[in-house]
């Protein structure tokens, strides 16, 4: 549990420091920001956490290509990224098709310049998915998974890394009430309310889905011995989600709307069940060493 505890402390410490410097930082960039100081908390915390992340990698002897999951030769690594992207694309495409068939998500009204919007959306989704895949998988299935795996068996590593992965998605700093002035301690006040979603039962389905997704990635990481396939999967998932959300919307009056949570209108009980099935299949049959 020591490695897991270090990563938890790293993120909590980064969030606390981010909240402390939120006031002067926002004052510095206020003219170029329109969404308020709360938007700086998570972004700044991620940047602050980078040096600590590097120190943890060195402490656990993971500060190398193999330790972080980049040990494959370049050609093989890129091939697994591409195969992972195609797999992630197909998995989320299946989920999207089911949601559309059930009427949970419906098409938005057509817009002018549809071709331009398609090209723009596809480009942004592709680039964004690849960037998110590389960054998040390097942290979660590279550093976090690798550090915990050095101390524990696979089951414990899967549970802890998946729990951490899901939990971080629900740290959501919100703006202070309009009457409250932005002062030296406002960052701490914003941070105090950033964990409110942990007490809301309505987020349980989304949390369960993200935990299942983390478990799926952990099994793939264990089976492959690197993070290339995980990066591709993650990028493919993000691509489909961004495109589908751009051109469809949730029908809250639909009888099956409970299948998706309020996190992004895509994941929920239905995707959690799908991830469970995929995880069991991958764990049982995919890249298993033959005796």
pLDDT digits (tens, 9 = 90+) for 161-175: 999 999 999 999 988
Angle, helix 204-224 to helix 228-247, in steps of 10 degrees: 150
pLDDT truncated to tens, each residue of the chain (291 aa)?
899 999 999 999 999 999 999 988 888 877 666 677 888 899 999 999 999 999 999 999 999 999 999 999 999 999 999 999 999 999 999 999 999 999 999 998 877 788 899 999 999 999 999 999 999 999 999 999 999 999 999 999 999 999 999 999 999 998 887 655 678 888 898 998 899 888 888 789 999 999 999 999 999 999 999 999 999 999 999 999 999 999 999 998 999 999 998 888 999 999 999 999 999 999 988 877 654
Task: Give how far the C-alpha of residue 240 lies from the chain's centroid of Cα atoms, to the nearest Å.
Answer: 14
CA distance 41 to 268: 26
Burial, 148: exposed, middle or buried (Cβ in 10 Å; 0-12, 13-18, 19+)? buried
Give the model confidence (pLDDT) of 119-150 as tens digits.
999 999 999 999 999 999 999 999 999 999 99
CA distance 49 to 272: 30
DSSP one-letter code for 156? H
3-state SS of 200-235?
Answer: CHHHHHHHHHHHHHHHHHHHHHHHHCCCHHHHHHHH
* Residues 190 and 174: beta-carbon distance below 8 Å: yes
Quote the pTM value.
0.92
């Amino acid at each position: 549990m020591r490695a897991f505890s270090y990563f938890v402390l790293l993120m909590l410490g980064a969030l606390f420091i981010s909240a402390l410097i939120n006031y002067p930082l926002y004052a510095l960039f206020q003219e170029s920001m329109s969404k308020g100081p709360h938007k700086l908390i998570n972004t700044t915390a991620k940047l602050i956490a980078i040096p600590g992340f590097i120190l943890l990698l060195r402490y656990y002897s993971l500060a190398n290509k193999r330790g972080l999951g980049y040990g494959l030769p370049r050609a093989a690594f890129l091939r697994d990224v591409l195969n992972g992207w195609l797999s992630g694309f197909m998995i989320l495409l299946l989920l999207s098709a089911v949601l559309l068939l059930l009427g949970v998500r419906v098409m938005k009204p057509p817009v002018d310049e549809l071709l331009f919007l398609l090209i723009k959306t596809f480009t942004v989704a592709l680039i964004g998915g690849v960037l998110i895949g590389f960054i998040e998988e390097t942290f979660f299935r590279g550093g976090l998974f690798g550090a915990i795996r050095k101390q524990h068996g696979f089951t414990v590593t899967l549970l802890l890394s998946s729990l951490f992965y899901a939990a971080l998605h629900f740290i959501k700093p919100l703006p202070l009430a309009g009457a409250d002035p932005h002062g030296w301690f406002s960052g701490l006040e914003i941070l105090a309310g950033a964990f409110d979603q942990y007490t809301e039962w309505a987020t349980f389905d989304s949390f369960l889905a993200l935990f299942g997704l983390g478990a799926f990635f952990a099994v793939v990481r264990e089976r492959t011995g690197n993070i290339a396939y995980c990066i591709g999967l993650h990028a493919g998932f993000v691509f489909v989600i961004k495109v589908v959300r751009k051109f469809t919307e949730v029908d809250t009056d639909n009888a099956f709307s409970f299948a998706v949570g309020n996190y992004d209108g895509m994941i929920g009980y239905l995707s959690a069940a799908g991830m469970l099935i995929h995880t069991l299949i991958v764990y049982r049959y995919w890249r298993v060493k033959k005796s």
